[in-house]
Chain A
Amino acid sequence: MENKIKKVDLIFGKVDHLSVLDKSFQRSQDEIILDVIDSGLRGRGGAGFPTGLKWKFAKNEDSEQKYVICNADEGEPGTFKDREILTQVPEKVLSGMALCGYCIGASEGYIYLRAEYNFLLPMLHEKINRFNSDMRERNIEFAVYVRSGSGAYVCGEETALMESMEGKRGEPRNKPPFPTSRGYLGKPTSINNVETLVFALMIAHHGPQEFRDMGTFDSRGSKVFSVSGDTPNAGIYELELGMTLEQFVNEFGDGDTKAVQVGGASGFCVARKHFKDTLIGFEGIPTGGSMMIFNSSRSMYNILHDYLEFFEEESCGQCTPCRVGCQQLLKGVESVKKGSKPPSYLEELQKLSETMKIASKCGLGQSVPNPFNSIINNFREEIIY
């Protein structure tokens, strides 16, 4: 395998978004959806559901009213790429939404923007007004609106986001039914991440082959990474998928990288000895983009403690495994550190985290065990002493 990682410029490059749309509107919905399926594009928010299939399911629903939602509730610690995409290429995001709307038969699109990004609103409103009138001029029945969040990490979960848009507490729903059959206001809804929508537009522009040719079997194309922590090159990079963590660290590390947290607080911590055999992608460790790099000066206990505090605060509290589980994991590692519980208590906590994985209602509680177990398994001594 060659050792250089490949930079790509699909997301941030300039494109005449209206001509891509005009060209697409000449084609049938099925053709475009088939292209998106063929490209292998999977959701870029982190969960990785095949985008084309999602659109197909939404299209196949028989309903007068359907919705497109752009999930811009980017709250995962270590992720900041959606803000940059919305800042630099808002028209491409809006066009991706219109493309999705055309494919599934929706005339309304909503951007759910996290409150922390409210400073983007004046610019977004201006772009949206122009875009909506561009659509009206073309007799395309599609308009975009913005809804704001109010500081709740869990609202990035798609059904919690819809509850929030409906004016309720952002508590996740049971699935099924999935949003493609019963989403916002009970209507079929395609909810996609900011980056996913731009990729879909670019696939409509270039055809599926170029995207498909990049990456690996399960992780096609490229991905925007948010790189932070102990690195001289913190920032946002679009990279071809399929690299190992070793290649990544060679490019971005500071020469003393001890561990990388792949996929944000809810992702996995990979220790140095596993860099070589860890693939970044759906075959290995998937990420919504967050890559936090830690060097050997960092205490892994502090990092785990920070993550657990985050989850304990952000758990919506609806289901017991997550609400109580997060509290107990936090209290538990504090007790082991203080010495008021023996080191063997960590095994009890790991059992509890397995219960959370099985019994929690949504991805929040289900993924707390990811950082918890990967940090404890790799850095047990640092947690105890």
Chain B
Amino acid sequence: MTTIQEFVKDQAEKHGRDRTSLMPILQAVIHSERYLSEEAMVAIAKELDLSTADVFGTASFYTFMDTVPRGKNIIRICKTITCHMKGKDEIIETLEDMLKIKIGGTTSDGLFSLLQANCLGWCHKGPVMLINDEVYPEITSPQAVEVVREYLKKG
């Protein structure tokens, strides 16, 4: 058994094997791997006795369930109107320069992906940045650089 197959099996033991466990298991894989590989989805389908197409169909519905490889840290910048008004474009440009990637891209060392997201629920404190599950409201470009540097140090 490969590592991911074992991981999926453990998760199925933990959450159970009926359909209501599908989301928690998919989310656990995302949490650990940042994306759902074909191997992971096949393993989940096998554990829950579902068709692989069904697993992919469910996963691909959700924005936070990527089915393409992503960096170890996923940076999401809110792009909805009030964050737009408060200058999210500047934050994005700064991070694109710093990480040498375009929005939607992943750094060559696999450490960061830079994405935009729809409303993150901090409209009174825009612009807001989400790294993995951590929120950084009212962020300025220098602060964004500082935060990303911290993640860089952690590797």
Contacts and interface: CB of A to CB of B under 8 A. Distances in A.
Interface string B127-150: 000100111000000000000000
Nearest to A114: B121
Contacts of B57: 169
A78 interface: yes
Contacts of A307: 81
A150 interface: yes
A234 B125 contact: yes
Given A150-B64, A229-B82, A306-B80, A167 B121 contact: no
A229 B80 contact: no
Interface of A: 74-80, 83, 114-119, 121, 147-153, 164-171, 185, 226-230, 234-236, 265, 290, 292, 298, 302-303, 306-307, 310, 313-314, 316
B81 A117 contact: no
Contacts of A169: 57-58, 61
B19 A168 contact: yes
15 contacts: A74-B121, A75-B119, A78-B81, A78-B82, A80-B122, A148-B27, A150-B64, A151-B117, A165-B23, A167-B19, A235-B124, A290-B123, A307-B81, A310-B80, A314-B118
Interface string B1-33: 000000000000000000111111011001000
A77 B62 contact: no
Nearest to A75: B119
A80 B22 contact: no
B59 to A, nearest CB: 8
Nearest to B126: A228
Contact of A76 (B24, B58, B119): B119
B62 A234 contact: no
B152 interface: no
Interface of A is mostly: mixed
B120 interface: yes
B84 interface: yes
Interface residues of B, number: 35
A168 B58 contact: yes
B118 A310 contact: yes
Nearest to B55: A167
A53 to B, nearest CB: 28
B23 A226 contact: no
A115 B66 CA distance: 13
Nearest to A316: B61
Contacts of B98: none
B62 to A, nearest CB: 4
A166 B19 contact: yes
B58 A151 contact: no
B65 interface: yes
Given A77-B119, A235-B124, A152 B82 contact: no
Contact of B65 (A116, A150, A153, A316): A150
B121 A116 contact: yes
Given A78-B123, A167-B22, A292 B27 contact: no
A314 B84 CA distance: 18
A152 B123 contact: no
A334 B124 CA distance: 28
Nearest to A121: B133
Contact of B121 (A117, A168, A185, A234): A117
B27 A80 contact: no
Pick the 6 closest A-B CB pairs, nearest first: A167-B22, A151-B64, A151-B63, A234-B124, A150-B62, A228-B123
A225 to B, nearest CB: 11
A260 B46 CA distance: 51
Contacts of B84: 302, 306
Given A150-B27, A151-B63, A167-B21, 6 more contacts: A75-B121, A77-B82, A147-B24, A166-B20, A167-B19, A170-B61
Given A228-B82, A292-B82, A116 B61 contact: no
A119 B81 contact: no
A185 B62 CA distance: 21
A253 B88 CA distance: 22
Nearest to B30: A150
A362 to B, nearest CB: 15
Contact of B124 (A165, A167, A226): A226
